[in-house]
Amino acid sequence: MESKASGLVKDDYALISLKGLTGKEKNLDDVRRNGKAAREPPMAPAAFKAMLEAGVASGAIKFTHRGDVGTVVTIYGKAFAAEMAAVVSLYYVNLGLDDAQMRTVIEALRAAHADGGLRKVEVLELGGNKMGDGAVAALAALLEEGAMPNLKKLVLERNQIADDGVAALASALRGGALPSCTKINLSGNLGSDAPVDEALASPERLKAVTQNASHMAAVVSLSYDGLGWDNAQMLALCAALRAAHAGGGLRKVEVLRLGGNKMGDGGAAALAALLEEGAMPNLKKLFLSFNQIANDGVAALASALRGGALPSCTTIKLHRNPGSDARRIGDVDSKVKEALASPERAAALARRRDEPSAQAEAQGPC
């Protein structure tokens, strides 16, 4: 059980199996490289139980007391649930696992998700194996069920994924799977990664993700940066965020990344109007660099800030926009800086703080 449990969530270089060593290793890097190659895929508790019972029945696995089998199965199940509930990064990298073994990995992840786990996972790395279309289809199906809602980075490089596998993954993404993910690495596979890139930037995905009420209520960071979206697409994004705000979402968002697109004054004005309505009250950082926002768009944002929008925000990046005088990454636009420090903003924020007290007094004692 120890070898199965130890391989569940450890970093790819944190687990060394003596079975993989050749005796020719010359340094610690060699030991890590060869030792990790013997790491077995993680097993779901049900599969572990079946393996253990079959091994005991055949005599391949021996216990001093056969009655201990149930105890070991229970201990493994509890360890599996605890680890999968807490883990933030999962690495099953460069293990040479074939498609069937990768399906075993996916089944373990499915079991963890069904038990309420994987909600904290932000990184999943499965590169350097022999994953094919079958395992990717199983992964896509799992993601469509809502697994790993906070995953930001998915690495599938250097596998054997062909067009059908890429298509399955792209379909899941269009349907809103992995709502926190903006980048997926598929380099070194048989199929083109273009369908996945297109799905990540698709209007279908945007609509599905922003209509996911539970996600929008819990999300802390939103990233739509580097997508090359034009002003019309940025307007569509603002409309989707407006709907999420109207549904009670976005209240926990602390970071909004919209840089590296083609947002113009229309998109900036729509964003400013949304912020004036009180959206994202806990936002601390807003990134709008490398867009096409001119004077009118910057003015609209500054006006919203003077009116008390984004009461928690202290960082707004606007460098490399035609209407901003911020030119370098560390520069602060003068109009935004002035608005953040303005007496109008201070007064507006004071009024907002006083409103709950005034409403409570007006209602009187219950």
CATH number of domain containing 80: 3.80.10
- For tokens 């209007």, the residue is 203
The answer to the question of residue 362 being in a domain is no
Looking at the predicted structure, is the pLDDT value of residue 7 above 70? Answer: no
The answer to the question of residue 220 being in a domain is yes
CATH number of domain containing 244: 3.80.10.10
Task: State pLDDT tens for residues 251-284.
Answer: 999 999 999 999 999 999 999 999 999 999 999 9
Are 140 and 189 within one domain?
A: yes
- Last-in-domain residue among 180, 200, 220: 200
Looking at the predicted structure, is the pLDDT value of residue 366 above 50? Answer: no
- Last-in-domain residue among 200, 224, 256: 200
Which of 180, 179, 171, 100 has the alpha carbon at shortest distance from 141?
Answer: 171
Are 31 and 73 within one domain?
A: yes
Total number of domains constituting the chain: 2
Which of 220, 224, 193, 192 has the alpha carbon at shortest distance from 206?
Answer: 224
Looking at the predicted structure, is the pLDDT value of residue 2 above 80? Answer: no
- Last-in-domain residue among 200, 232, 254: 200
What is the maximum alpha-carbon separation in the chain? 81
Least confident of 28-32, 67-71, 295-299, 318-322: 28-32
The answer to the question of residue 100 being in a domain is yes
Looking at the predicted structure, is the pLDDT value of residue 102 above 80? Answer: yes
Phi, psi of 255 (to 5 degrees): -135, 130
Least confident of 19-23, 62-66, 362-366: 362-366
Are 60 and 145 within one domain?
A: yes
Are 151 and 266 within one domain?
A: no
Are 47 and 171 within one domain?
A: yes
Range of the domain at 161: 2-200
The answer to the question of residue 112 being in a domain is yes
Phi, psi of 90 (to 5 degrees): -120, 125
Helix (H) or strand (E) holding 134: helix 133-144
pLDDT at 5 (0 to 100): 47
Question: Is residue 337 classed exposed, middle or buried when 0-12, 13-18 and 19+ CB atoms within 10 A define those classes?
Answer: middle
Are 188 and 235 within one domain?
A: no
Are 170 and 237 within one domain?
A: no
Looking at the predicted structure, is the pLDDT value of residue 365 above 90? Answer: no
pLDDT at 11 (0 to 100): 55
pLDDT at 61 (0 to 100): 85
Looking at the predicted structure, is the pLDDT value of residue 106 above 50? Answer: yes
Are 104 and 244 within one domain?
A: no
Are 118 and 215 within one domain?
A: no
Are 219 and 337 within one domain?
A: yes
Are 181 and 235 within one domain?
A: no
The answer to the question of residue 363 being in a domain is no
Are 84 and 163 within one domain?
A: yes
- For tokens 């008390």, the residue is 308
Q: What is the mean pLDDT of residues 167-177?
A: 97
